[in-house]
């Protein structure tokens, strides 16, 4: 059974997220990119959850006609797709934050099954500590931007700091939970928080 972050009420309003996405897109440059596998996965997820029309609207928002798995695309393209997707999914999942977590989960699953993700997977198998120690490498393979640092607070408690990321923190909560749930740990928990405009930090625990 999936163990997910439990949030009684959204931490931020829909209007907050609209402004947040607009700011992130405005700060991104053409050099800030993500692999096409994430765009492809998002379109597939939207077709599964919202039907062909939802996927079409996300593709239209991207400004592209198709994506190639290993190509790099501007992160602004992906952000426009995600901003469209979360509004379409909010009615299903209750709020923008949970929609972002769901999209993050799908992104992690798609990357894990990609050629790059399978290569990284050999490094950790089902060992949570080895997986987390690899996180900075995994993120650098997937994204052209950002600085990533993992530290250990206790044997079953890590802290993951993300600097200069364009993707909102609930997305990363979903990514981390999806990865952890494929290991042997019990009751994984991830709690993220925004620390500045493009920085965030995550407490990762289990047991």
Round to whole Å and give the CA distance between 114 and 60.
24
The pLDDT value given to residue 10: 56
Lowest mean pLDDT among 27-31, 46-50, 73-77, 121-125: 121-125
The pLDDT value given to residue 160: 98
The pLDDT value given to residue 125: 67
What three-state secondary structure class fits 101?
Answer: helix
pLDDT digits (tens, 9 = 90+) for 55-100: 999 999 999 999 998 899 999 999 999 999 998 888 888 889 999 9
Query: At residue 9, does pLDDT exceed 60?
Result: no
The pLDDT value given to residue 6: 40
Query: At residue 182, does pLDDT exceed 80?
Result: yes
The pLDDT value given to residue 184: 83
Round to whole Å and give the CA distance between 42 and 55.
8
pLDDT digits (tens, 9 = 90+) for 95-151: 899 999 999 998 898 888 887 777 766 566 688 999 999 899 889 888 999 999 999
Round to whole Å and give the CA distance between 35 and 145.
12
* Predicted TM-score of the model (pTM): 0.88
Confidence of residue 8 (pLDDT cuts 50, 70, 90): very low
Round to whole Å and give the CA distance between 65 and 137.
30
The pLDDT value given to residue 7: 40
Query: At residue 4, does pLDDT exceed 50?
Result: no
């Amino acid at each position: 059974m999936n163990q997910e972050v439990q949030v009684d009420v959204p931490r931020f309003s829909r209007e907050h997220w609209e402004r947040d996405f607009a700011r992130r897109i405005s700060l991104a440059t053409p050099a800030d990119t993500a692999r096409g596998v994430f765009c492809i996965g998002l379109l597939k997820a939207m077709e599964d959850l919202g039907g062909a029309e939802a996927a079409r609207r996300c593709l239209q928002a991207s400004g592209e006609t198709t994506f190639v798995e290993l190509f790099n695309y501007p992160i602004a393209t992906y952000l426009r797709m995600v901003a469209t997707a979360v509004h379409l999914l909010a009615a299903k999942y209750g709020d923008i934050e949970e929609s972002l977590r769901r999209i993050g989960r799908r992104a992690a699953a798609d990357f894990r099954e990609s050629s790059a993700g399978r290569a990284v997977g050999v490094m950790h198998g089902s060992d949570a500590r080895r997986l987390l120690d690899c996180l900075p490498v995994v993120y650098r393979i997937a994204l052209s931007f950002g600085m990533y640092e993992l530290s250990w607070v206790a044997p079953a408690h890590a802290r993951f700091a993300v600097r200069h990321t364009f993707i909102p923190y609930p997305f990363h909560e979903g990514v981390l939970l999806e990865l952890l749930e494929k290991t042997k740990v019990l009751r994984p928990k991830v709690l993220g928080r925004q620390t500045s405009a493009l920085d965030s930090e995550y407490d990762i625990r289990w047991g």
